[in-house]
Structure formats: C-alpha cells, structure tokens
Amino acid sequence: MANDCIFCKIRDGKIPSEILHRDDVCFVIRDIAPKATVHLLVIPNEHFLELTGLTPGHADMISGMFLAAKEMAKREGIDKSGYRLVFNQGSDGGQEVPHLHLHVLGGRKLAAMG
C-alpha cells in the first residue's frame, strides 16, 4: 500500500465510505464526483498503479473486477438498459488516483465514444 493512497485508506477503513461490495479481489464504492446517474468505482484490494504493470499473473484480479462490475450493474438496475466500463490509464488518459480502478457508468443514455 502507498501510505497516501486514498483507495487503500478506504479499503482499510481509515477513510469512511459506503462499501457497496467487497470480496477477496476488489471492493466497490460510489464515485464522489459522478459523471452519470450511476457511477461506481471497482477497486482492486491490491495496491496496483496502472494497466502498464499488468502481467498474466493479474488475470484473476482483472476478471474479478469485471465480475464485480457485472454484479453491481445488476444490483443498481442498469444491466438491462446498458452501461459503460472504463479504465483511465495515466494522467493523459484521465487517471486521477494512482491506484487502478474500473468505472461503471449508467442510469441514463451515454454519449457515443468515437
């Protein structure tokens, strides 16, 4: 854990937050500055900076994050209407917290990308 990582502090209960889901791989919270009606963050328990450090050994972590996102989309009632999953990679890609996390966005019609 990086001592100043906000996500690690939330994971460890040092910063209060409503944990919507927690398992051996990851936990889920609501984004504090939502960009959609539903905007969740799926955060691996392991302090992991960004996708550039990904190896085949991280396959269980990434698949666990996607499975948690799928479950949370269903729980939030956006699984049928549709939702977007986004990883922001690095500062130019919009990553604001240096701990890998997956955004789950939905609850309204989202603009097409590209």
Beta strands in 23-113 (DSSP E): 26-30, 38-44, 83-87, 102-106
The total of other beta-carbon atoms located within 10 Å of residue 81's CB is 11
Active-site residue, from 39, 47, 58, 101: 101
Q: Does 99 qualify as catalytic in the annotation?
A: no
Residue 84, classified by CB atoms within 10 Å of its CB into exposed (0-12), middle (13-18) or buried (19+), is middle
Which residues are the active-site residues?
101
